[in-house]
Amino acid sequence: MLKIKSALISVFDKNGLEPIVKKLQDLNVKIYSTGGTEVYLKQLGVSVIKVEDITGYPSILGGRVKTLHPKVFGGILNRSGNKDDINDLENYSIPKIDLVIVDLYPFEKTLKSGESEQNIIEKIDIGGISLIRAAAKNFKDIVCISTKKDYSNFLKILNKNDGRTDLETRKKFATNAFNISSHYDTAIFNYFNNDNDVFKKSFKSGKQLRYGENPHQKGTFFGDFDEIFIQLNGKELSYNNLLDVDSAVNLMSEFVNNNPTFAILKHNNACGLASRNSLLEAYKDALAGDPISAFGGVLISNKEIDFQTAEEINKLFCEVVIAPGFEDSGLELLKSKKNRIILELKNYSLSDDHIRTCLNGILKQDKDNITDSKSTFKTCTFKSPTKSEIDDLVFASKICKHTKSNTIVLVKNLQLTGSGTGQTSRVDALKQAIEKSNNFKFDLNGSVMASDAFFPFPDCVKIAHEQGISSIIQPGGSIKDILSIEYCNQNNISMVLTGIRHFKH
């Protein structure tokens, strides 16, 4: 147990600091400080020694250099059991420091605010990061408090142990300090980095989940969930809930500016989706797409959920409901099921990167940000799609892009009527989509078909024709494209090529 007799305090954010410095004063701890922190402490009536009085140098270069001095770092880095270190402290009149409370300039916050490059650069901390690393390195002799999240715990320790700390506690605080410093450096590096051959990603903390994909697996979520959602009701989200929510939000991002649109997802794939003039109609038609799979699913809307729609939703057992807003009466009704997770989606930009583990490393790619539209279509058949078919083709392609490969998606009148997901054969994907459509009594005559990749043979086109499908969208690119095109021409089917494949694995 080491007694704290002296402390260096220099923080950008003064919130939460007062109870600690008052306690340190009660314990007769000698306090060194500089700049705004020194002024703040004096306003609290705390006795403070200026760092400049130790170093003999004022703050220079507009505050860029304040604590970078051997008399400061010598006081932090000296080893209590080392005779040479002790002699150096005496010979050079270096005061020993037992506690360092330092935070960092808000680099990430400044970056997000969109300020000028100069202001961003000025928020790259030099002295603070150096003090934190030095104090954390010397944890055997020094306590390093590098974030106000540690203030409460540290204050409890001060009160409980009369200003003393044990080695385990100091090492824990040092671990937190290196977490802070490494995260900070990663953020700065990523601001400067334009090299796709280098990858660094950092999260300061993670949320332990009940379990992973299965109960025997551990799971943790690293990220700021509250930056994207307001949770209005329900239990904590599971690993699988989070995957489904991610899929739902990415899918619905394709329909943000559309008429009222509702989607129902299960195991990361849409099992129902429809756009209508009212949200109630959109929900009913999305549910009709596959009412069996909808049980226990994740529901998402692109519009505020009103009471009438909430009444219909409440009849279904579902895990999660997501919307940009909820009518008060509708929200209260949905909250009647205490475990039902209700999420209000904020106006938030999703990541442009897609990252996953692979072998002993990771794979990183750009997110598939291309959405097929009428302007990108190239009609390759004698017959052109009608206006309503074009609307359905765009609609089907959006769903197809967010469905596990190999996939075929069938749509009619802006309603998902069937999809084949995650099949090893494109023919099997089509057969699965047709079977689903037939099971729920959809008439496929006049419907459209979307494929995430090209048709190497005309077999899918033939099967589609036999079911009455009248228009097809696919990327093209097969050396045998002409076979599918010729079949369409012979059977009065329109086909458009996009030139963009949408694999999703």
CA pair distance 28, 262, nearest whole angstrom: 64
Q: What is the model's pLDDT at position 424?
A: 95
Is pLDDT at 321 greater than 80 in this prediction?
Answer: yes
Our answer to whether residue 267 is catalytic in this structure is yes
Q: What percent of the chain has pLDDT over 90?
A: 83
Of residues 5, 30, 137, 383, which has the active-site annotation?
137
Q: What is the model's pLDDT at position 81?
A: 86
Is pLDDT at 252 greater than 80 in this prediction?
Answer: yes
Q: Cα–Cα distances in Å, from 59 out to 6, 7, 50?
A: 21, 19, 11
Average pLDDT of span 7-28? 93
Q: What is the model's pLDDT at position 22?
A: 93
Say which residues have a Cβ less than 8 Å from residue 3's Cβ, sequence separation at least 6.
Answer: 98, 163, 164
Average pLDDT of span 163-177? 95
Element (H, E) at 86: helix 83-91
Strands 494-497 and 471-474: parallel
Q: What is the model's pLDDT at position 63?
A: 76
In this predicted structure, which of 69-73, 139-143, 175-179, 378-382 has the lowest mean pLDDT? 69-73
Of residues 22, 267, 335, 431, which has the active-site annotation?
267
Our answer to whether residue 505 is catalytic in this structure is no
Q: What is the model's pLDDT at position 247?
A: 96
* Mean pLDDT of all residues belonging to the chain: 94
CA pair distance 241, 344, nearest whole angstrom: 15
Is pLDDT at 289 greater than 90 in this prediction?
Answer: yes
In this predicted structure, which of 119-123, 387-391, 422-426, 432-436 has the lowest mean pLDDT? 119-123
CA pair distance 423, 259, nearest whole angstrom: 31
Q: Is 307 helix (H, G, I), strand (E, B) or coil?
A: helix
172-205: pLDDT as tens digits: 999 999 999 999 999 999 999 887 788 888 888 8
Q: What is the model's pLDDT at position 21?
A: 94
Q: What is the pLDDT confidence band of residue 249, given thresholds at 50, 70 and 90?
A: very high
What percent of the residues of the chain are helix, what percent strand, and what percent coil, each to the nearest 5? 40, 20, 40
Phi, psi (rounded to 5 degrees) for 428: -65, -35
- Contact by Cβ (8 Å): 491, 383: no
Average pLDDT of span 218-226? 93
Taking every pair of Cα atoms in the chain, the longest distance, rounded to a whole number of angstroms, is: 98
Which among 371, 397, 411, 384 is positioned nearest to 452, based on CA atoms?
A: 397
Is pLDDT at 66 greater than 80 in this prediction?
Answer: no
Residue spans of beta strands (DSSP E) within 13-139: 30-33, 49-50, 99-102
Is pLDDT at 61 greater than 90 in this prediction?
Answer: no
How many residues are given for the chain?
505
95-153: pLDDT as tens digits: 999 999 999 989 989 988 888 888 999 899 888 999 999 999 999 999 999 999 999 99
Q: What is the model's pLDDT at position 305?
A: 98
CA 236 to chain centroid: 17
